[in-house]
Amino acid sequence: MQARESNREDAPAPSGEIPRHIAIIMDGNGRWAQQRGLDRTWGHRQGVKALKPIVKEAARMGVEVLTVYAFSTENWRRPSQEVDVLMTLLVEFLARETAELKGEGVSLRTIGDIGRLPAGAQQSLAWARAETAEETRLILNLALNYGARDEILRAVNRWVGESGEKELTEDTLSRYLDTAGLPDPDLLIRSSGEYRISNFLLWQLAYAEIFISDKLWPDFDPAEFRQAIRSYQARNRRFGGLG
């Protein structure tokens, strides 16, 4: 039987090129809870706990940007009680972890239409962004009330309202996206064994490598994160060219 890789903080990082920007679809919280006979909200609580060691591991390995799909535009369709718990968990996470994020050199940012979130969540996000704004080791991008189609529409509408240009180019549109100024993701990780992008970063993921993990998100750990990076390092990225 193959030995399970250590999750110790001093475990060796994969040797080779580290992706500058990693995007993660954190999927499977509800199923994790249901498999244990628990309410789905317990899965979300464990999912929040699972994020912290991944952020620390990304910072340790030299990843520049980590973008995580925390709450989609489609998630509003879930039962109101579940949505309320998700918003409460967001506020609790920010209150509990912002000081440590700052200490680890992590700058917290957001993408998505934050204006629809509850006022308390918006205030907590504004505080956490301000507290960590000067940090440069890692950018942690929380995708909240985010949908890629919505992002592209908002970007085009801003361009129409602000620009006097008559032609919309790829470079111009990129400057109006929520991720303006950041490199496109090199690697997309999706947990829970699902093979879908789920309306996440449709423009930015054009040439990203994809790693599908069978682990449900609460079980996703630094060892699996390192495995995703090793998989990325073993690939020949051709960007449409010959190879």
Q: Are 115 and 122 in contact (CB under 8 A)?
A: yes
Alpha carbon distance 187, 181 (integer Å): 18
Partners of residue 21 on adjacent β-strands: 65
- Alpha helices by DSSP H, listed for the chain, are 29-35, 40-61, 80-103, 119-132, 148-162, 170-176, 222-233
What's the residue count for the chain? 243
The reply to whether 171 belongs to the active site is no
The reply to whether 27 belongs to the active site is yes
Catalytic residue among 27, 178, 184, 186: 27
Structure tokens at 133: 């704004």
- Give the pairing of strands 187-190 and 21-25: parallel
Residue that has been written with the tokens 């399970």 in this structure:
4
Catalytic residue among 7, 39, 75, 221: 75
Alpha carbon distance 172, 20 (integer Å): 22
Structure tokens at 42: 């317990």
Alpha carbon distance 134, 137 (integer Å): 10
Q: What amino acid positions are annotated as catalytic residues? A: 27, 75
